[in-house]
Amino acid sequence: MKNIIFIAPPAAGKGTQSNLVSEKYHIPHISTGDILREVMKEDSEIGEYVLETISSGGLVKDDIMYTLLEKRLHEKDCQNGYILDGFPRNVEQAKKYDEILKRLGQELGYVISLEIDEKLLAKRITGRRVCEDCGAIYNINVPSELPEIESTCDLCGGNLYQRNDDNLESFQNRYQVYLEKTGPLLEYYKNKHILYQIDGNLSIEEVFKRIAMVLEGYYDND
Ligand SMILES: [Zn+2]
């Protein structure tokens, strides 16, 4: 297995696909959010800094993020590959990531981007509901992701709510930012001939089938 970077707009199903790949190929799913949550629990200078920054609504400095990421990728479970989710987000970060890989003696592997219609994304975002007790995610606009009982979590019976930023206006802003940052990033990886663009409008199963084909060498990227 090789290293995998997932690039996709908000609500395109990146987390779901990452988990499926992680299970099937036994490689860790690494997201920068998880790295930060882990380090926040640590009783260290860097842990305190991250905790303070995030609780005050700030953004962790890029340099710190690079250090934490490199440390994580150095761990044993990453030796046979991993899925990177939420990083890099722009060309500057991609170049830093190249440097990290060089130091680790590793190759880029695959960059998989999920291409999906803006209208469908908007529908998914505005339909998203989250369990206030266990965090499970449902979607009232996607038949296969509906809870069994309206507004109630299948797993724990908790109440479902809509996140503040899961509205159309916030989505359009986030999507605009995504397009601006990601366009050049996709170009960057395309030039390295490791970019695989997958149709993310398909069902979870169909998208996963195509990703598996990429990872098993049955998909042409040019
Ligand atoms: Zn729940």
Catalytic residue among 124, 128, 129, 210: 128
Q: How far, in Å, from the CA of 152 to the mean position of ligand 1?
A: 8
Catalytic residue among 102, 163, 192, 209: 163
Q: How far, in Å, from the CA of 137 to the mean position of ligand 1?
A: 8
Q: Is 89 labeled as catalytic in the residue annotation?
A: yes
**How do residues 140-176 score in pLDDT, each as one tens digit?**
998 889 999 999 999 999 999 999 888 999 889 989 9
Q: At 15, which amino acid appears?
A: G
Q: Average pLDDT, whole number, for the chain?
A: 92
Q: Is 174 labeled as catalytic in the residue annotation?
A: yes
pLDDT of 222 > 60? The answer is: no
Answer whether 116's CB lies under 8 Å from 201's CB.
yes
In CATH, what number does 4-27+80-215 get?
Answer: 3.40.50.300
Specify the DSSP element, H or E, that contains 177. helix 168-191
**How do residues 41-63 score in pLDDT, each as one tens digit?**
999 999 999 999 988 988 899 99
Q: 134 vs 71, 108, 124, 156, 158, CA distance in Å?
A: 29, 35, 20, 7, 7
Say how far apart CA 192 and CA 201 lie, in whole Å. Answer: 26
Q: Tell me, what's the pLDDT at 15?
A: 85
Q: How far, in Å, from the CA of 20 to the mean position of ligand 1?
A: 21
Q: How far, in Å, from the CA of 156 to the mean position of ligand 1?
A: 4
Q: Tell me, what's the pLDDT at 18?
A: 92
Query: Could you tell me the pTM of the whole model?
Result: 0.81
Per-residue pLDDT, averaged over 75-98, amounts to 93
Sheet holding 83-85, edge to edge: 29-31, 83-85, 4-7, 110-115, 195-199
Q: Is 37 labeled as catalytic in the residue annotation?
A: no
pLDDT of 139 > 70? The answer is: yes
pLDDT of 220 > 70? The answer is: no
Answer whether 211's CB lies under 8 Å from 112's CB.
yes
Q: How far, in Å, from the CA of 136 to the mean position of ligand 1?
A: 5
Per-residue pLDDT, averaged over 188-195, amounts to 95
Q: How far, in Å, from the CA of 40 to the mean position of ligand 1?
A: 24
Q: Is 61 labeled as catalytic in the residue annotation?
A: no
Per-residue pLDDT, averaged over 56-85, amounts to 93
Q: Tell me, what's the pLDDT at 57?
A: 85
Q: Tell me, what's the pLDDT at 192?
A: 95
pLDDT band at 196 (very low <50, low <70, confident <90, very high): very high
Q: Tell me, what's the pLDDT at 197?
A: 94
Say how far apart CA 156 and CA 72 lie, in whole Å. Answer: 32
